[in-house]
Chains A and B, each alone.
Chain A
Amino acid sequence: MTSAEQIKIENVTFKYPGGEEPVLNDVSLTINKGEFVAIIGGNGSGKSTLCKLINGLIPHYYVGDFTGSATVKELNTEETKVADLSQHVGYVYQDFDNQLVRARVLEDASFAPLNFGYADYKDRGKRALELAGLTGHDDEFIWQLSGGQKHLLALAGAISLDPDILIMDEPIAQLDPFHAKEIYNVLKMLNEEYGKTIIVIEHHTEFIADYCKQVVLMDKGNVLWKKPTADALRLVDQLMERQIFPPQVTQAAYKLDAFSNKSIPITLQEALEIFPNQKYVEEVAVHGPTNNLERACLRPVVEMEQVSFAYKTITRSKKTVLNGIDLNINQGDRIALVGNNGAGKSSLMRLITGLVKPERGNVTVKGKNTRDYSPEKLADFVTYIYQNPEEMFIEDSVRKDVEFFLKARKIPEYGKKVDRILEQFELTSLQERDSRLMSGGQQRRASLAIGVAMNPSIILLDEPTANLDIATRKHITRLIGTLEDNVEAVLVATHDMQLVAEWANRIIVLKDGNVLHDGTRESVFNDRELLNSAGLNPPQIMELSRELYMSPVSYTVDDFVATVNKQFGEENSDGIQTKII
């Protein structure tokens, strides 16, 4: 082992007792000091298991058949205690909330240094908080923190022992783009200024392209390769085959088939340098869904007038979340509700369900004022699908959960309907399983099935694509597309701008409890100022097409490719040029 080699895994195979397939299958991998590595791979490819091998939880905590050897900073993990390894390896979990064990911020950040008997444990905790960028909250309770702040606290806890290696499992799955960048900038600083080795498990290839230096691809418990980021992301075929989607600019360049492999761009900046900066003008004026707002007759299904909402905080003071909202939701609306964490998206949805009543103003759903009706009554028209599917599972099997609503209302022959819905959401073979024990994507499908079984007029979806890998995300987007046939209006709260761009026909931008904008995707994505003030990041392909002065702007990779091809087709007929480069 050379001094640069910090982690060396040699021929490790690991199988859980009673498991049929090994979760790690003859894995060999070397990670050097100061690298910033992204581990990618489909669900169940062994990414988390590999990381738990590095901090010693495997084989100490998870006992199974273990062969091969893993060395971290010249310590053999099999012979070293987890507690000793944790002085060298920090770990931030995907469900980081459960990793916070003390009540107050500083107590939690200094918990590990205290346990290891450092007399200056508080200073160490403070320093870690400072590095993570979470200052000024030392004496706050962790339940007063926002999701993003909790994440930073978990990060501070992991680096409190000043380890040389930091592992983060899906660092940005639940964050809006602004907070996602914040986390990655912290990681970048730790990597560049403090020379720490950073390992992330990441699905968002656009972040990998911007921040990571190396990429490790895993498949079925194997490490297929480790390559520099640019080389790795250009292997579009190999990635797509495993349902990993490279950055949109990379996909576009690949599909155009006009570049040599070496010159395929992986970041927006590179793409701008390589695509000719000229006007691609297309004649068609209207692109994508037509503007529903301008339709002659609008039939509102939900009306909100001057609605304000506040809730009581732990300190018994009131916090206003929505501030005089005036809004109609009309038949045929496919609304994307966007805005940063804490803008009031979930509160707005919960008001429509009748679970909470407005402080001032009225919410009317299908002519019924929610003040006068219980949520059970409103559930006849409205379905609310939680951000966290687990909170919707109230029975012990998928089937029972899906049929709960129908059974409670004694709908005749509900069994057939349930069969049909299970089929539609590809849950037939899983119907007897406990929903809580399924994968993230399966859980999400189950929660959608539960919602659809309620036969609603209005469906409210809270962050339906959060926490999913990109492939599952696409699948869910497709399923959401099929909902429209049966319902009058769909309202989706989301940070996923690709979903917004591809699906919505109306976008409502919330900020600090106010409606900042209400209009079509064109009106939102072409308004630079609006995007900035609401903290929205348009899809990468859109940014590219706008920077290239394409008109109209492309919202999807396919749009972009079609526009460019058409342009070249025309140029070809003039006999100008066939290939860029």
Chain B
Amino acid sequence: MEYRQKLFDKLSVEQVKIELLNTAYGNDQTFLAKLDPRTLFIWYLFFGFAPWFIHNQAILIGMFAFVAVMMLIAKSSPLIIFILCLGLLGQGGYLLLAAWFFGGDFSTIMPLVILTMKLSIISLASISVFTSMDPEKLSDGLLKIGVPGQVSFSISYAYRMLPSLIEEYHHVFLSFRLRGKAPEKHGILYWRSIAYFVKIAMLSFYPLMLSTSKRARTTVEALETKGSFYAFNNPKVKAIKLAHLAFRSRDYWFLAFSLVYVISLFVFGILYFK
């Protein structure tokens, strides 16, 4: 009973909302968060894509160590890290089991481990970058590199609406519970109860969609009166809005350090681990 209650506490809709918002907006004081979004884009461009083309284990291990440290600096939410580990362990464990079961040995497993390693680097890099950029920063960064105003506005607006939507979803979900009937017996491994909750969790989306479309009317009118449609692609507005973006010395130092680290890693890896 006690454990079940605790588990439910962690899994509650409220908790998910809190974690999501903290991931999105919570870490604006870390080193990475103070960098210019463009710096992070450049950094991510390498660490998010390069691992696919690298097969040298030493280099991969070195990159993994780097992004792992970055993730620590970024102070990602524990929930996100937990989900990531669960995914990687699940994936890796399953492949390991399959390889072992079909008579594979170390040489079969090795490529699988490398694949998992690549995936981890990319995921960790993504988490570090995106926890360090709140939606506003991301949308400003995108605007700066030439993405249309509508797209960058939609990103920040979606995040502004997220808590309201989750709250409303929660209310509807609770309405189902307040009027519905839960199964009398939990069933083996709680399957009846789980099926019941999954069902109302899905049904709760329908009322939400209908009421959201109704609310959207006011929002669109407000956007119109606040001149957003006129401003989206107006170069003057864009310049004022993005005036606060600037490369500072910490951006240069960070990029330089990353570059030096990666070059040394390659030299070391290619020379000593062929």
**Among candidates A93, A107, A114, A436, residue contacting B211 with C-beta atoms closer than 8 Å:** A436
In the complex, which residue of chain B has the Cβ closest to the Cβ of A357?
B5
Query: How many Å lie between the Cα of A141 and that of B134 in the bound state?
Result: 12
B240 lies within 8 A of A408 (CB): no
CA distance A112 to B222 in the complex (A): 10
Contact between A103 and B168, CB atoms less than 8 A apart: no
Q: Which residue of chain B has its CB nearest to the CB of A91?
A: B225
Q: Which residue of B14, B15, B204, B226 has the most chain A CB atoms within 10 A of its CB atom?
A: B226
**Residue positions of A touching B, CB distance < 8 A:** 55, 57, 61, 81-83, 86, 91, 93, 95, 97-104, 107, 111-112, 114-119, 121, 141-143, 157, 311-314, 316, 353, 355, 357, 374-377, 379, 383-384, 386, 388, 390-394, 396, 404-405, 408-409, 434, 436, 450, 454
Sample of 17 further A-B pairs with CB below 8 A, known A114-B241, A388-B171: A61-B224, A91-B225, A101-B222, A102-B157, A103-B159, A112-B225, A115-B230, A115-B231, A141-B21, A143-B21, A143-B163, A312-B18, A355-B177, A384-B178, A394-B179, A404-B180, A436-B207
Q: Which residues of A contact B178 (CB under 8 A)?
A: 353, 355, 375-376, 379, 383-384
Residues of B in contact with A (beta carbons under 8 Å apart): 5, 14-15, 18, 21-22, 25, 134-136, 156-157, 159-160, 163-164, 168, 171-172, 174-182, 203-204, 207, 210-211, 214-216, 218-219, 221-231, 234, 236-237, 240-241
Question: Knowing A98-B219, A143-B164, A390-B211 touch, does A355 contact B179 (C-beta < 8 A)?
Answer: no
Bound Cα distance from A382 to B224, whole angstroms: 45
Contacts of A116 on B, CB cut-off 8 Å? 227, 230-231, 237
Known: A314-B21, A391-B168, A436-B214. A111 touches B207 (CB 8 A): no
- Please, which residues of chain B bring their CB within 8 A of the CB of A95? 215, 218
Contact check, B224 vs A57: say whether CB atoms are below 8 A apart: yes
Given A57-B221, A103-B160, A386-B171, are A119 and B240 also a contact pair (CB < 8 Å)? yes
Given contacts A101-B222, A119-B240, A394-B176, contact A314 B14 (CB under 8 A): no
Q: 10 tightest A-B contacts by CB?
A: A115-B231, A115-B227, A391-B171, A98-B218, A376-B182, A112-B226, A99-B222, A143-B163, A408-B181, A86-B225
Q: How far is A538 from B225 in the complex, measured between Cα atoms in Å?
A: 39
Residues of B within 8 A of A114 (CB): 231, 237, 240-241
Chain A residues with Cβ below 8 Å from B211 are: 390, 436
Report yes or no: A393 in contact with B156, Cβ–Cβ below 8 A. Answer: no
Name the residue of chain B whose CB is nearest to the CB of A104.
B136
Given known A101-B160, A103-B135, A103-B136, contact A312–B14 (CB-CB < 8 A) = yes
For A383, list chain B residues within 8 Å (CB).
178
Please determine whether B226 and A115 come into contact, CB atoms closer than 8 angstroms: yes
C-alpha gap A157/B216 in the complex (Å): 18
> Smallest Cβ distance from B137 to chain A, in angstroms?
11
Q: Which residue among A57, A83, A384, A450 has the maximum number of chain B CB atoms within 10 Å of its CB?
A: A83
